[in-house]
Amino acid sequence: MKLNQLAGLRGICAWWVVFYHYLGLMNDSVPTPVRHFIAHGYLAVDLFFLLSGFVIFLSYHASLSTNFPHSVGKFYWNRFSRIYPLHFVMLGGYLMLFAAFTYLSSSHAAPESYTWSTFIQSMFLVHMWFGSDLTWNVPSWSISSEWFVYLFFPLMAFSLRKLRGGIAAHLLSIAAAAVVLYVIYSTSGLHSIGADIPHMALVRTMFEFLMGVFVGSLYVNHRDFLERYATVALAAFVASCVLYALTSTPDYALIPITFALLIAYLSVTTSWITAALSTPVLVYLGEISYSTYMVHYLVYDLLKAAFISNTQQINQVYLWLSFVVVFILSVALHHVVDMPSQKYFRRRLSTR
């Protein structure tokens, strides 16, 4: 099942993350309100986690709930084919950058964070399982933490069969996940959901992914309920955004439930909002969003390396050209690596 509006939303989120990471290289020509919005681009990852829970539940709940445990292996195989080949290629790109730092730079040394132990952990996508620092391809931290959550998803989908008749149980489960996440962050003394990623990544991913799963279960089993209260969900989403923008409420208190409301609304409505998100350009950006997300930081690191003496003096023409490079590489990686590798691995599965 493909919901174009959610694909378009994913495309916007991918570029929100891109601009967020590049924000420190932008000069004062970027208007203050735009800079403020970009500065919150780390929250796009939280929307990714909820979207992943929602979409993956829609894709696999039927087979996992009716053909468990036979379909578990197929689920893991499909997720591996989806995330690993492109991740592996990006690590290859970082190995070349490591070699360039080591043999071609004036210091003949790569950054200290580029260690072989973290490389091995990154290669197997387990670096967040051990609380490693963000290094090599930095965005892969979220892929590592999602891979951890995938280990438990089949059990989630199988267990949710018992909630099919309970709207209240779904709503309470979503609220409980949001509350537990809030309690964990508030008692840890952290100021933001984006803080201390090495130690909080698994918690952040697990509970937001779970919230997305419950919204997905509502969509599958109680779509009429979501349709009936779609306007309420939209109003609550807008109110939460206003509350977050105008108060000092911590992001971890509002953002997860805010994004859950947004997904619930978009999944069941036909409006100018869903029409805008379903435009071919945004849908295509959503389709290549994984490639965009995985390649943009390499381009960012290369840009910084080229201006390592003073990143604050980067010619803005080069900065905006780097966005063009990110897009071109996203398209190329999607069509040359991502899609062919998925087809190859799934073909192998069908012949077994």
What pLDDT, on a 0 to 100 scale, did the predictor assign at position 81?
87
Confidence of residue 11 (pLDDT cuts 50, 70, 90): very high
pLDDT tens digits along 173-186: 999 999 999 999 99
Mean pLDDT of the chain: 87
Whether 145 shows a pLDDT value over 90: the answer reads yes
Q: Is the pLDDT of residue 331 over 90?
A: yes
Show the CA angle centred on residue 269, arms to residues 8 and 174, nearest 5°: 85
pLDDT greater at residue 173 or residue 97: 173
- The predicted pLDDT at position 259 comes to 96
- The pLDDT score that the predictor gives to residue 165 is 62
Query: Which DSSP state fits 115?
Result: -
How far from chain centre, in Å, is Cα 118?
21
Distance of alpha carbon 237 from the chain centroid: 20
Share of the chain above pLDDT 90, in %: 53
pLDDT, position 96: 85
CB 20 within 8 A of CB 42: yes
What's the pLDDT band for 131 if we cut at 50, 70, 90?
Answer: confident
342 pLDDT above the threshold of 90: no
DSSP state of 68: T
Up-side HSE of residue 265: CA atoms within 13 Å toward CB?
21
> Mean pLDDT throughout 98-110?
68
Lowest mean pLDDT among 58-62, 254-258, 304-308: 304-308
| 69: preceding bond cis by omega (within 30 degrees) | yes
Predicted confidence (pLDDT) at residue 52 exceeds the cutoff of 90: yes
Q: Tell me what the mean pLDDT of segment 10-39 comes to.
A: 90
Instruction: Give the pLDDT of residue 346.
Output: 79
Contacts 24+ apart (CB under 8 A), 63-70: 64/153, 64/154, 64/157, 64/158, 65/157, 65/158, 65/160, 65/161, 68/154, 68/157, 68/158, 69/154
d(CA 217, CA 220): 5
At residue 255, the pLDDT reads: 95
State the pLDDT at residue 310.
Answer: 60
Cα dihedral 329/330/335/339 (nearest 10): 140
Q: Which of 63-67, 72-76, 173-177 has the lowest mean pLDDT?
A: 63-67
Residues 271 and 296: beta-carbon distance below 8 Å? no
Secondary structure class of 330 (helix, strand, coil): helix
Could you list the beta-strand ranges (E) of 132-276: none
